[in-house]
Amino acid sequence: MSEPRTPVFAANWKMCHGPAETAAFMERFRERHAPRDDATVVVFPPAISLPAFAEARAGRPDLRFGVQDVHAEVEGAYTGAISAAMVPATGATWGLAGHSERRREFGDTDAMVARKLRRLLDAGLRPVLCVGETLEEREAGRLEAVLETQIRAALSALHAEGRARLVYAYEPVWAIGTGRTASPADAAEAHGIVRARLSGFEGCDPPRSVILYGGSVKPANIGQLLAAPGVDGVLVGGASLDPDSWAAICGAGA
């Protein structure tokens, strides 16, 4: 059983909100969300909007931000890609790796995700490793095996100090963007599996590891999800795009 901790509210904007929309969002969100020291708020805008986010959050260091993906290499002939080493200069301090859309749409494999985590760590960013099963895998009774494979592949490629800095996001693929949320009991079960899988890896501290839930989180279900055992925060897509809805989520448990 994990000890109580301050929740993390993370927003994954995916390919939504360019620089102008980011500025407009932030103007409204800053009014609706006062800084709170009992929670962490972090937004993952599209890379092209990182400078706009940095500018729009001036004077609000409580509003952290990060990058949705980086390339597995540091530099080179990779047209269109972004290097983790380029990210800190924008002021961003976090990075996602292994989101199911990256795995599905862009072919990110477990081995690539592991290398991306290393790049994020080398750049001094805080990585969030996203894991989760498809509906087919869940129905075949493979939840535990899938999570185990994804976690093992990532952690085996990292040093103990790197592992110690990882945050996790459990996102069942069948709940992402579908309106179908995992029940608090489902989330608690999966978070328990993730936590159990961390033990045995030097550098990991399972009871203190931060594990976020993602998949159709909204203002209406944030309270019950956050109350589920072992859920330390949320990673929110669709409901984070509207500043009022995102402010409602970030106000949960205050």
Please tell me whether residue 171 binds ligand PGA under the rule CB under 6 A.
Answer: yes
- The active-site residue out of 33, 99, 133, 191 is 99
Among 214, 230, 233, 243, binds ligand PGA (CB under 6 A): 214
**Computed over its alpha carbons, how large is the radius of gyration of the chain?**
17
Please tell me whether residue 215 binds ligand PGA under the rule CB under 6 A.
Answer: yes
Catalytic, 191? Answer no
| DSSP track, 64-104 | EEEES---SSSSSS-TT---GGGSGGGT--EEEE--HHHHH
Whether 96 contacts 120, CB under 8 Å? no
Please tell me whether residue 221 binds ligand PGA under the rule CB under 6 A.
Answer: no
Whether 120 contacts 95, CB under 8 Å? yes
Catalytic, 139? Answer no
Contacting ligand PGA within 53-112 (CB under 6 A)? none
Strand, coil or helix: 64: strand
User: 135: which 2 tokens?
Assistant: 């509906």
Please tell me whether residue 40 binds ligand PGA under the rule CB under 6 A.
Answer: no
Among 18, 35, 124, 177, binds ligand PGA (CB under 6 A): 177
Contact pattern from residue 4 through residue 23 relative to ligand PGA, giving x for each residue in contact according to CB under 6 A and a dash for the rest = --------x-----------
Nearer to ligand PGA among residue 201 and residue 233 (C-beta): 233
Contact pattern from residue 119 through residue 158 relative to ligand PGA, giving x for each residue in contact according to CB under 6 A and a dash for the rest = ----------------------------------------
Smallest separation, CB 200 to ligand PGA (Å): 28
Among 176, 182, 194, 228, binds ligand PGA (CB under 6 A): 176
CA atoms within 13 A on the CB side of 53: 26
Each as own residue / partner, the long-range contacts of residues 78-83 (CB below 8 Å, 24 or more positions apart, any chain) are 82/47, 83/119
User: 224: which 2 tokens?
Assistant: 């019950």
Q: Which stretch binds ligand PGA (CB under 6 A): 62-70, 73-81, 133-141, 171-179?
A: 171-179
Whether 13 contacts 47, CB under 8 Å? no
